[in-house]
A and B are shown apart, each in its own frame.
Chain A
């Protein structure tokens, strides 16, 4: 039954991705602005604009462009970037690494801190510790990220000259091997701090609330009455039940991670997908935009699948329900 559920969920991905590609394609082409005119420049002749349109297939009817796109997509061809005239897959994939590095690290730190502090506070709801943590995290959550970034930079980079302001590596001496990795690590400190400040409070609040509410249910008392040890009750039952919404949020956030940090990437000049998305949108580079959306959608769908599968382990009802329908 479990196997059937998993198979069902995996097969579901195909129509979902198809729908996403269709909607992305339509939305992008509905936005006013013409890449050919932008690429041609302010004083271009109509002839040149037409030649660019023909080169990128923009002169065909939209529905035909759509079928050509789908046909190419099925062969693994995402098209050619209007701006750099290079394959979209290459342009997009060389930005995935830096973004994943930044987002996974921030995700992991936020999740770990949020769950740890959230459980501490949730188990002792109303205590001083809980109040202090709640107010602190709420304040952190309310700080606008870009403002906080500027603040951090002027303190740690300009005043104290401790950390680099922007970029992923030192452009002058990028180094190699361990020196390169260390250089990247140093450049990550400020952007990650900013992101953790924004995302950790969400995990904290959610964990705190769900731990506290699970604690108020009857079963922990019943289990203890039945003679189970406190540790057992907490670790195997309370936290397991409380973890469902947290897993949902963590999965959701991980899914959005590829495109979720546009602002951070722009402020810290981090060479990831966010900046590529920003620039491609401004120059109406349709193939690259579609490519980014596709990669991001695949990420969301796959992470959603993994989240659903984790549910099966956390809550046996999930698979039973699906199997009976």
Chain B
């Protein structure tokens, strides 16, 4: 068999049995004349050229000097957080725009940014911010109280998602050019912390001289922001990158890095590969939802530094307290006893989260007496008492668990399913993308048990948006309405006395532990990864503006530019050229061979007809004609 086949190949090579090179031949079937050939080449060339022309033109003069490349997953539509865009605009906004005040990363207090100091009237109703003087917008105009008043009034007129932070505010007015007063509707001790947190999420100060009198949703500066921050917007190539350049007149001193390129990389796996190659130097999990299983292998990479401070984001189970079986508090308690949150934090987040047994974040506001430990015996007792004894196969009930895959919650769901099976609960999954999940769970309340992520820190005031019964249909969709809890929240908000607030929030945590409308699972850490051999000065700075790069510096001597057209690139180009040349050669060769073989076959045909010998069969397997 093999011998014959090899002989066959040898024959075919030797005698050039296949005299036709197929591409040319197939082309020849419908491209018979030179005009048509030219036409085909012209069309293909035009198509390729057209696609080159259609490419976004490379623009912006290339800045030589230090460059930091950062990756982010989503491509922003609008570069103005105030319009409630996706995550894509945060990084740009944090570096181009600035806020009045910020929250210190460790939650040790409010720190100044555009407001250098502030005074609170003893009645806790009137907050006056003293603005930093001499600050200029990036177009040279001075920054004044008019900008602050414009921003706050616009924000309040746009009933947007961050409105919660401004809801307690009755009105805002300018005392003079550098003093702005916020008058609250009612005394609120937690407001400053709350506001400082909210500042990073949509309350960046906008330039009134560019926005006043225009429609804020359609203003062209939403695409090319002008701020007071350390970096200036330079260009945005949709789907590819956003470029920021250093602001030489920044009031805090010109930043060390001259240019920041934000590369849009939709696949986080690709981002981590770029980080290892060094073409990306900084990755933040807020902008890039990293699959936590991918982080531990990176720990062994010597030039990568991983910072993972604990933030205020938790994952939590939501129980629909209107739906069976979760309208029974004993069932909800049983579930709390039946889920091992330590295991959850280790297995779903590979240690980049901590299990939560209480009902608030660790820290000054935490009530250690309101905790529910992991105890399957207790869980089973409660379920039996609630009227769910085990059936013959050990199953007590079947419930539906609705989740979406963000923040590693798909892994959490699987672990919860296994853990619940041990107490006789059969959990079946319902999962979809965030949009579909949100409609089902948060809007329609059409669920039994769900998992979601939410921000409840740094101040417990923030917790309220997840528990307020008036938010039903938007965020507090557990339908849990407890008058005592509502009263405690109102009392905590009205007082300025920290001891009193603590007591009130402890009371709320006790109620939560008793009724379990929601069950906090894990407190997720903010994972930041960067090339320590290329950049320094990164890491946690302030609570909401983790991405302010004004202090970042490049390590001298390290090449921080992206992929450079070097020998490597030339090799790549060579590969392309080889392919093109090969194709051209094949086509040319076919033509040559065809002309040759036609000539020879014509001669052959003549010889055959004169000799009267039967023509050879063109069977592929048959022996080749001898020449």
**Beta-carbon contact of A115 and B564 below 8 Å:** no
Q: Known contacts being A158-B273, A163-B568, A314-B29, is A93 close to B160, with CB within 8 Å?
A: no
Give Cα A184 to B56, complex, Å: 12
A-side contacts of B279, CB under 8 Å: 164-165
Give Cα A234 to B598, complex, Å: 11
Q: Mark B136-169, 1 if CB is under 8 A from A, else 0.
A: 0000000000000000000000111111100000
**Beta-carbon contact of A104 and B47 below 8 Å:** yes
Interface size on A, residues (CB 8 A): 119
**Beta-carbon contact of B51 and A266 below 8 Å:** no
Closest to A99 in B: B51
A-side contacts of B6, CB under 8 Å: 128
**Beta-carbon contact of A164 and B563 below 8 Å:** yes
**Beta-carbon contact of B20 and A231 below 8 Å:** yes
Q: Known contacts being A158-B276, A165-B274, is A41 close to B18, with CB within 8 Å?
A: no
**Beta-carbon contact of A229 and B621 below 8 Å:** no
Chain A nearest CB, measured from B251 CB (Å): 28
**Beta-carbon contact of B239 and A283 below 8 Å:** no
**Beta-carbon contact of B575 and A116 below 8 Å:** no
Kindly state the interface size class of chain B when it binds its partner: 35 or more
Q: Mark A109-131, 1 if CB is under 8 A from B, else 0.
A: 10010011011100111111100
Closest to A238 in B: B618
Closest to B24 in A: A235
Give Cα A314 to B561, complex, Å: 53
Give Cα A246 to B617, complex, Å: 26
**Is A96 interfacial (CB-CB < 8 Å)?**
yes
**Is A271 interfacial (CB-CB < 8 Å)?**
yes
**Is A171 interfacial (CB-CB < 8 Å)?**
yes
**Is B334 interfacial (CB-CB < 8 Å)?**
no
- The stretch that binds A, out of B172-180, B263-271, B341-349, B509-517, is B263-271
- The stretch that binds B, out of A3-11, A32-40, A135-143, A289-297, is A32-40
A-B interface contact total, Cβ < 8 Å: 344
- The stretch that binds B, out of A20-28, A58-66, A67-75, A185-193, is A185-193
**Beta-carbon contact of B159 and A47 below 8 Å:** yes
Give Cα A118 to B65, complex, Å: 52
Give Cα A184 to B240, complex, Å: 12
**Is A324 interfacial (CB-CB < 8 Å)?**
no
Q: Which of B55, B160, B473, B616 has the most CB of A within 10 A?
A: B55
Chain B nearest CB, measured from A229 CB (Å): 4
Give Cα A168 to B51, complex, Å: 13
**Beta-carbon contact of B569 and A166 below 8 Å:** no
**Beta-carbon contact of B12 and A162 below 8 Å:** no
Chain A nearest CB, measured from B444 CB (Å): 9
**Beta-carbon contact of A269 and B264 below 8 Å:** yes
**Is B551 interfacial (CB-CB < 8 Å)?**
no
Closest to B19 in A: A231
Q: Known contacts being A119-B22, A120-B18, A157-B277, is A32 close to B440, with CB within 8 Å?
A: yes
Secondary structure call for the A interface: helix
Chain A nearest CB, measured from B204 CB (Å): 15
B-side contacts of A275, CB under 8 Å: 75, 239, 266
Segment 264-304 of A: residues with Cβ below 8 Å from B? 265-269, 271-272, 275-276, 278-279, 282-284
Give Cα A97 to B49, complex, Å: 10
Q: Mark A154-177, 1 if CB is under 8 A from B, else 0.
A: 100110011111111111111110
**Beta-carbon contact of A43 and B475 below 8 Å:** yes
**Is A150 interfacial (CB-CB < 8 Å)?**
yes
In the complex, besides A84-B76, A158-B273, A185-B576, 16 extra interface pairs with C-beta distance below 8 angstroms are A33-B435, A37-B443, A48-B161, A93-B54, A115-B22, A123-B18, A165-B274, A169-B58, A169-B240, A171-B261, A173-B564, A188-B576, A189-B572, A233-B618, A271-B56, A275-B239
**Can you list the 7 inter-chain pairs with the closest CB atoms, starting with the nearest?**
A97-B54, A41-B161, A271-B239, A84-B77, A119-B22, A33-B435, A229-B601
Q: Could you list some 5 contacts between A and B, CB below 8 A? A: A116-B21, A127-B9, A170-B563, A224-B618, A275-B75
Q: Which residues of A contact B (CB under 8 A)?
A: 31-35, 37-48, 51, 55, 81, 83-86, 91, 93-98, 100-101, 104-105, 108-109, 112, 115-116, 118-120, 123-129, 150, 153-154, 157-158, 161-176, 179-186, 188-189, 207, 212, 215, 220-221, 224-225, 227-236, 239-240, 243, 246, 265-269, 271-272, 275-276, 278-279, 282-284, 310, 313-314
Q: Which residues of B contact A (CB under 8 A)?
A: 2, 5-6, 8-9, 12, 18-23, 25-26, 28-30, 44, 47-48, 50-56, 58-60, 62, 67, 69, 74-78, 83-86, 158-164, 217-218, 222, 237-241, 243, 259, 261, 263-267, 269-270, 273-274, 276-277, 279, 432-436, 438-440, 442-443, 454, 465, 471, 473-475, 561-565, 568-569, 571-573, 575-576, 579, 583, 586, 594, 597-598, 601-602, 604-605, 608-609, 614-621
